[in-house]
Amino acid sequence: MTQGGAHAVPPCIALTGGLGAGKSTALAALERLGAATLSTDAVVHELYATAAVRDAVVARFGPEVAPAGVVDRGRLAERVFADPADRGWLEQLLWPLVRERVSAWRAATAARVPAPRALVVEVPLLFEAGQEQSYDATLAIVADERLRRERAAARGHRAVDERAARQLSQEEKAARATYVVRNDGDLAQLEHRLSAVLGMLSR
């Protein structure tokens, strides 16, 4: 942070966790607690709506993944998650574009007056993509394995096993993260734990 009354730059935190751990719930809670938040999953959704990304995906996988000219993420996932080569191709297409969007958001949001308590970016594949060095700190959301699978199934995630297989275990994510917050209880408990993390970051 800058001193002498100049504009203080809030810390930028990467939020991650395994499938069904409750990352989106935690992100929304952090926003209520005064952080500015961004979901890279939402950024990817926006990118799929662009002509450049849509056309590249159709050229690679065929028009069936984009019926009526709109990328069907579920159909695309079924194709991609089972094939490492296809998954690698898609990641190389998307990740540089996502990083550009995140960088622009960080610059614009950090300049707000008054500044938010923190900038929090949800990055599901943070460690897998080697992006953790781009942030001031990292926060892993963890939960009981049975609870995670129930949440993932309830949300209709396709190819759950394939998605989980491409990620580090949540134990590994927790071991690498600066902070770890459990999401096994109710929303009030989660917000209390996240508020404590924000308090440590602002010291």
* Domains, in order of start, for the chain: 12-201 (3.40.50.300)
Q: What is the pLDDT of residues 21-32, one digit of tens each?
A: 999 999 999 999
Structure tokens at 50: 């662009």
CB atoms within 10 A of CB 5: 6
Amino acid occupying residue 115: A
Q: What is the pLDDT of residues 32-73, one digit of tens each?
A: 999 999 999 999 999 999 999 999 999 999 999 999 899 999
Amino acid occupying residue 1: M
Q: Determine whether 126 is exposed, middle or buried from the number of CB atoms within 10 Å of its CB (0-12, 13-18, 19+).
A: buried
Query: What is the C-alpha to C-alpha distance for residues 179 and 82, in angstroms, rounded to an integer?
Result: 32
| E strand intervals along the chain | 12-17, 36-39, 119-122, 137-142, 179-182
Query: What is the C-alpha to C-alpha distance for residues 86 and 76, in angstroms, rounded to an integer?
Result: 10
Query: What is the C-alpha to C-alpha distance for residues 180 and 148, in angstroms, rounded to an integer?
Result: 16
- The percent of residues in the chain predicted with pLDDT above 70, rounded, is 90
Q: What is the pLDDT of residues 151-200, one digit of tens each?
A: 777 766 554 555 666 678 889 999 999 999 999 989 999 999 999 999 99
pLDDT over threshold 60, residue 5: no
Q: Which of 203, 43, 199, 32 is nearest to 121 (CA)?
A: 43
Structure tokens at 175: 């071991």
